[in-house]
Chain A
Amino acid sequence: MNFRVNGVHFDYKSRKVLNGVELNVNQGEILAIMGPNGVGKSTLLKCMDMILKPTAGSVLIDETDLVSLSKQEIAKRVGYVSQRNEVSRTTVFDAVLLGRKPHVGLKITENDYNIVDAALKRFDLEDMQLRRIDEMSGGELQKVCICRAIAQEPNVLLLDEPTSSLDLHNQLEILKIIRNVTEGHQTATVLTMHDLNLALRFADKFVFMKDGIIHDACDAAGVTPEMIENIYGVKVQIEYFKGMPYVIPE
């Protein structure tokens, strides 16, 4: 399975936010979209899920254009975790059960309950399934939201800054989970991130974005200091420590 974004444009009122974005990611791969604040990373993710309708261009899963699908059909294929999540007075189990919505007809089946239970176990959340999400920490809530997207059984997983506002322990845990999900469930995963070093450690592919277009695309080993300087306007060096690349600002 291949997920492809073809020349996507998006205008917000008269301001051009996306100017023909191209990218593609295969199942089992994590693609990280890097770039400074306000370059349109979140807008791009929303366009990929048709939460915002691109003004031009197409988003394809294999050869199926998402524009031609109903909202429900898109939701069966693409899972999205927003940067901000509202919390209501519901339990973890119910919050994850919501992920079954695109698949549910009038009534939830036993199968839906079973899938939620299985998803909770993947995320080590089964012990807190009856805890209320409005009483959880940021890290726990982020886990619940990703778990909900997994219960949706999507082919494509879109995550908008899944590690922002998390502490180091939770950042690593969430990214490990995303890695496992991507490999275990063979999703094509796209995420936005600000932490270059974390991204280098977990993502397979990178795109560097500025002014609404992709400037560079490469795999993890291909990231160069020039690409980073080009995008962020900061001179950096990339040093290797124990085989891992690290970005160090000069």
Chain B
Amino acid sequence: MHLEDGTKPAAYKKYIAKKIGIIGGMFIFLIFFALFAVSVGAVNIPIPDVIKTLIGGSGTGLYERIIWNIRIPQILTAIIAGIGLAIAGVSMQSILRNPLASPYTLGLSNAAALGAAVGISLFGFGTTGSNITDAVIMENPYLVTICAFVFSMLTSGIILIIAKIKSATPEVMVLAGVAINSLAAAGLMAIQYFVDDTKLASIVFWQFGDVARAGWSELIIIGAVVLICSVYFIWKRWDFNAIDAGDETAKSLGVNVSRVRLVGMIAASLISAVIVSFLGVIGFVGLVCPHMMRRLIGDDQRFLIIGTAICGALLLLISDTIARTLIAPHVLPVAVITAFLGAPVFLYLIVRGH
């Protein structure tokens, strides 16, 4: 072949630089917003004190405790869960070739909620009462979390087994997910109908996604899963680009399409299941962040995966900060805000077109 006479065109370099610029800009904004988020809340801490405390300087004892025990875990959870949900969403949309695919629409979230409901009502990992700061106190939060995780992974297991029998076509996976979503919703409804008031309250309360639920140990588990799975998706970015160009084209470019689909779905499900089990249902981030970034920087997975991750972190962090400050000292569950904040932005992007 004689294709040595080309040079990397300047116009293309500029085009790539623009994408990197957008992602870099969002990242810097995320850092600054995170600092701001640490400083605001029920107690407002001046930003210089925040920075002093973070770099190990002499902050006051009260500030130190608030920052390290409350604010930082919550803010990191918002960032990491945002990254996780967004990456799960963007990869599911590629794998399933469907713009509606997300942890929520495929039934993973509802299945986790059903699992939690089963744990609370049938196994009695239930509630003992309530206090002023929390509406409901869970007696055994870890067992509820495990129930939610098991149900969520079972759901993706069923989707994957059906897909495997039908040789992993995207349509089959999406349809199976939608069917299971309805099944989980129906199961949840049935349980809610029969349980007593306190259990009903804790089932409903569990479903309100809330990043304040995670402490350092939960954060480490979520972080590890998100990190490992994200590395996989970034490593396989070219395979996902090839799959976007059609299954046959991808195969002709040497991609093992069924395997990438299968492993990708397992990774995306794992991320979603872990996040939902620890934090409750947080919809919309996984669905909308990929679409926002597709409109901003295009479908190229080399940039889309990282861009979407930062977009997810921003959406969840901003939502959480609003949730904490809107009616302070009371806090709203973040899941309420994500949709209120994300939907108008998303609709604007759709209406504005390309």
- Determine whether the beta carbon of B7 is less than 8 Å from that of A86: no
Give the docked Cα–Cα distance between A71 and B9 (Å). Answer: 30
Whether, in the assembled complex, B339 has its beta carbon less than 8 Å from a beta carbon of chain A, the answer is no
Give the docked Cα–Cα distance between A73 and B252 (Å). Answer: 11
Chain B interfacial residues counted at CB < 8 A? 31
What are the interface flags for A48-63 relative to B under an 8 Å C-beta threshold, 1 for contact and 0 otherwise?
0101000000000000
- Determine whether the beta carbon of B12 is less than 8 Å from that of A130: yes
- Determine whether the beta carbon of B255 is less than 8 Å from that of A153: no
Smallest distance from the beta carbon of B237 to chain A beta carbons, Å?
10
Whether, in the assembled complex, A137 has its beta carbon less than 8 Å from a beta carbon of chain B, the answer is no
Smallest distance from the beta carbon of A213 to chain B beta carbons, Å?
24
- Determine whether the beta carbon of B253 is less than 8 Å from that of A82: no
- Determine whether the beta carbon of B6 is less than 8 Å from that of A114: yes
What are the interface flags for B1-14 relative to A under an 8 Å C-beta threshold, 1 for contact and 0 otherwise?
11111111101100
- Determine whether the beta carbon of A130 is less than 8 Å from that of B299: no
Smallest distance from the beta carbon of A35 to chain B beta carbons, Å?
20
- Knowing A86-B244, A90-B298 are in contact, say whether A98-B253 is a contact too (CB < 8 A): yes
Smallest distance from the beta carbon of B305 to chain A beta carbons, Å?
14
- Determine whether the beta carbon of A130 is less than 8 Å from that of B15: yes
Smallest distance from the beta carbon of A133 to chain B beta carbons, Å?
9
Closest to A94 in B: B300
Whether, in the assembled complex, B246 has its beta carbon less than 8 Å from a beta carbon of chain A, the answer is yes
Give the docked Cα–Cα distance between A118 and B242 (Å). Answer: 21
Whether, in the assembled complex, B25 has its beta carbon less than 8 Å from a beta carbon of chain A, the answer is no
- Knowing A90-B298, A104-B238 are in contact, say whether A116-B253 is a contact too (CB < 8 A): no
- Determine whether the beta carbon of B8 is less than 8 Å from that of A118: no
- Knowing A98-B245, A121-B6 are in contact, say whether A91-B254 is a contact too (CB < 8 A): no
Give the docked Cα–Cα distance between A49 and B254 (Å). Answer: 10
Whether, in the assembled complex, B65 has its beta carbon less than 8 Å from a beta carbon of chain A, the answer is no
Contacts of A113 in B (CB 8 A): 6-8, 12
Contacts of A158 in B (CB 8 A): 252
Whether, in the assembled complex, A129 has its beta carbon less than 8 Å from a beta carbon of chain B, the answer is yes
Give the docked Cα–Cα distance between A152 and B298 (Å). Answer: 23
Interface of B, helix, strand, loop or mixed by DSSP: loop
What are the interface flags for A91-105 relative to B under an 8 Å C-beta threshold, 1 for contact and 0 otherwise?
101110011011010
Whether, in the assembled complex, B134 has its beta carbon less than 8 Å from a beta carbon of chain A, the answer is no
Smallest distance from the beta carbon of B26 to chain A beta carbons, Å?
19
Whether, in the assembled complex, B256 has its beta carbon less than 8 Å from a beta carbon of chain A, the answer is yes
Whether, in the assembled complex, A176 has its beta carbon less than 8 Å from a beta carbon of chain B, the answer is no
- Determine whether the beta carbon of A71 is less than 8 Å from that of B241: no
Whether, in the assembled complex, B171 has its beta carbon less than 8 Å from a beta carbon of chain A, the answer is no
Give the docked Cα–Cα distance between A73 and B255 (Å). Answer: 11
Smallest distance from the beta carbon of A52 to chain B beta carbons, Å?
9
Smallest distance from the beta carbon of B353 to chain A beta carbons, Å?
12
Q: Chain A CB within 10 Å — which of B244, B245, B255, B256 has the most?
A: B245
Choose among B8, B11, B298 the residue that contacts A110 (Cβ–Cβ < 8 A): B8
- Determine whether the beta carbon of B8 is less than 8 Å from that of A98: no
Give the docked Cα–Cα distance between A225 and B134 (Å). Answer: 86
Whether, in the assembled complex, B249 has its beta carbon less than 8 Å from a beta carbon of chain A, the answer is yes
> Which residues of chain B have a CB within 8 Å of any CB of chain A?
1-9, 11-12, 15, 97, 238, 241-242, 244-246, 248-249, 251-256, 294, 298-300
* Other contacts beyond A81-B249, A110-B8, A115-B6: 12, CB < 8 A: A51-B251, A71-B256, A75-B254, A84-B248, A90-B241, A99-B253, A101-B242, A113-B12, A114-B3, A118-B5, A122-B3, A158-B252
Could you show 25 A-B contacts with beta carbons less than 8 Å apart? A49-B251, A49-B252, A71-B251, A75-B253, A78-B252, A80-B252, A82-B246, A86-B245, A88-B244, A90-B244, A91-B15, A94-B241, A98-B238, A99-B253, A101-B241, A101-B253, A102-B253, A114-B6, A114-B7, A117-B6, A122-B3, A130-B15, A145-B249, A149-B252, A158-B252
> 10 nearest interchain CB pairs?
A117-B6, A118-B6, A75-B254, A80-B252, A113-B8, A86-B246, A72-B254, A88-B299, A89-B299, A118-B3
